[in-house]
Structure 1
């Protein structure tokens, strides 16, 4: 087997080596004393430059557990049938960290081989048996979905490929099929190499990795990145625009298999607020919400008509999840916004510098 390595600075590696040498009781000591509060949300956070952690919190973003990370995290997968969750390193990342969100303890650190990297997202199968992770080949950005056997200590048992370059987020549908947001971009580190020829797609895979369907947008400079579904058959996609910097184009679309992708509404001057980038996206029965940390805002659309209803300022708007019909939105300055079905908003300050995405514990 090829030896595996993690790309962390010497300073961070030394710090991480000391942390992982702690006993479980010491790691648990990093948790908040608010153990009576129910764990409902998980997200990455930034404590200082080069110092990152994953936070398990209540619905009101009260910290319950905090675990240190070896490098900056991105997306989180939560098991539907166990107490495990996985934090994936930000692309091009070298680790995926499995942890127990009730105990607040790390269970396993999965390291990428030298010639591979993680793209920052993954998801458990509906039965919790498999963990799927978006991965890439460093030399080519060839897209890979890694398959890990949860019951066998997360050993890698397979790979799905041949669906495109630069996959980012993967989600699982109710019928057990996988949906992959394929960015279509070959990168050297984080630097794009093929913007003139990039080929993004929304790719549907069977549970065995067969390519079932691919949907595309008319503008090939819209890199399909972040995904969600509405609990039924509708997939939501958030894009990063890689075209002309003065063009302001729709960045959110919805799709059902067998149909064309449909973009959400908004005028160019409204899409300019999102600064060419959508991060997290979620839907209730009536609305769709998408965040833009680069634009420091989030938008809300009517799900039935696809009309843009409002854009709201939120510095470094980051994660969004749906809990009991309400949206919960995080930000990198510690603000949290709870939005009811009639779009009434409650704001509070969490004291946490939230980073990238949130996931809900169901």
Structure 2
């Protein structure tokens, strides 16, 4: 078994160029540009930061976090960004991504924890965060007022246990990846009875649609949308180790979840876990740090068209029609379509997810 310390040692070696050679490299820019990307990073043993990077993934500034971070949300109107603590998270950190200055370190309430993700409303006035009730894992979307200093003003509930990621659609509908898992810390307690779902909430927090997958051990976790009406979801499989089910699905309201296609041995490469997902009008890309790889599917045929190795493949976002993919070994891959890519070395041990500033 590879321990977290062993994994981090390998990644440190990769950052120093001693392992994981990356092919198709391009020359790194001499000076970073303006802030375009946000992500959490590991900077040493039990040392964590949130990093502001330019469009190439080159770091501009960093802010220390009290514990390991996970997802980051951005608010371009106020130049705010929020880094969420990894589940069961005890904080979210609000900061100015132009200056790197801390605005507020917001602790979780006594009987709550954060799941590591959140999103701003389309009008920039509200922050929605996935939360859980300690002891029950009852799912909550916390609603925070930006102009009131991120004061919690409401909670949306009654959609299931263990919400992980939340995104917002153009019509202000919230979409929640409900993992369905009751946990004690990070230990799952209800694998045999878990009920994951892809759930839709209206602007008032009421459940308006919910769909699931046939296998209830496919925990729905990470989400994206294509800029229009299609939602993509990546799963974590909590069933038998020798089974390799489909881990990525797409959905449009009023229809069932449609699983993307790959051979069982290809799904096995993802090691039962999808970390980040993004889509353009033609392609869908999903990463797996546990599988040290990422896959690209045709959005039109749902067929896997590329499966590429990438050490600790972590975040992915779309800039224009180009994917930007981060690696815990410091690599930043730019790819607009299958088999056409360049890689830069950022020398940042990127962790989990990226967010693009728009």
TM value normalised by structure 2: 0.91
Greater Cα offset, 77-86 or 284-293:
77-86
CA contact (8 A) 2:305 2:338 kept: no
Q: Report the secondary structure of 2:220's partner residue.
A: strand
In the alignment, the residues of structure 1 paired with residue 84 and residue 94 of structure 2 have an alpha-carbon distance, to the nearest angstrom, of 9
In the alignment, the residues of structure 2 paired with residue 35 and residue 149 of structure 1 have an alpha-carbon distance, to the nearest angstrom, of 36
| Aligned twin of 1:168 | 164
- Segments of 4+ in structure 1 off by > 4 A? none
Q: How does 1:13-52 map to 2 (within 5 A)?
A: 37-52=33-48
Q: What is the CA RMSD across the aligned residues, in angstroms?
A: 1.0
CA contact (8 A) 1:80 1:127 kept: no
| Aligned twin of 1:118 | 114
Q: How does 1:1-362 map to 2 (within 5 A)?
A: 37-341=33-337, 343-362=339-358
Q: Report the secondary structure of 2:337's partner residue.
A: coil
Cα deviations by residue, 1:296-344 (Å, 9 ceiling, x for unpaired): 0000000011000010000000000011211000010101110023641
Q: Report the secondary structure of 1:86's partner residue.
A: strand
Q: Report the secondary structure of 1:270's partner residue.
A: helix
Q: Kindly state the Cα deviation for residue 35 of structure 1 after the two structures are TM-superposed.
A: 8.1
Q: Report the secondary structure of 1:298's partner residue.
A: strand
Cα deviations by residue, 1:4-48 (Å, 9 ceiling, x for unpaired): xxxxxxxxxxxxxxxxxxxxxxxxxxxxxx987211100000011
CA contact (8 A) 2:71 2:117 kept: yes
CA contact (8 A) 1:80 1:126 kept: no
In the alignment, the residues of structure 2 paired with residue 138 and residue 297 of structure 1 have an alpha-carbon distance, to the nearest angstrom, of 34
In the alignment, the residues of structure 1 paired with residue 256 and residue 56 of structure 2 have an alpha-carbon distance, to the nearest angstrom, of 38
In the alignment, the residues of structure 2 paired with residue 211 and residue 324 of structure 1 have an alpha-carbon distance, to the nearest angstrom, of 32
In the alignment, the residues of structure 2 paired with residue 239 and residue 275 of structure 1 have an alpha-carbon distance, to the nearest angstrom, of 11
TM value normalised by structure 1: 0.90
Q: Report the secondary structure of 1:239's partner residue.
A: strand
Taking CA–CA contacts closer than 8 Å with sequence separation of 6 or more, which of the two structures ends up with the larger relative contact order?
A: 2
In the alignment, the residues of structure 2 paired with residue 49 and residue 190 of structure 1 have an alpha-carbon distance, to the nearest angstrom, of 20
In the alignment, the residues of structure 2 paired with residue 59 and residue 253 of structure 1 have an alpha-carbon distance, to the nearest angstrom, of 28
CA 1:177–1:80 in 2, change beyond 3 Å: closer, same or farther?
farther
Q: Report the secondary structure of 2:147's partner residue.
A: helix
Greater Cα offset, 105-114 or 296-305:
105-114
In the alignment, the residues of structure 2 paired with residue 116 and residue 68 of structure 1 have an alpha-carbon distance, to the nearest angstrom, of 23
In the alignment, the residues of structure 2 paired with residue 35 and residue 310 of structure 1 have an alpha-carbon distance, to the nearest angstrom, of 32
Gaps of 5+ in 2: 1-29
Q: Report the secondary structure of 1:269's partner residue.
A: helix
Q: Kindly state the Cα deviation for residue 270 of structure 1 after the two structures are TM-superposed.
A: 0.5
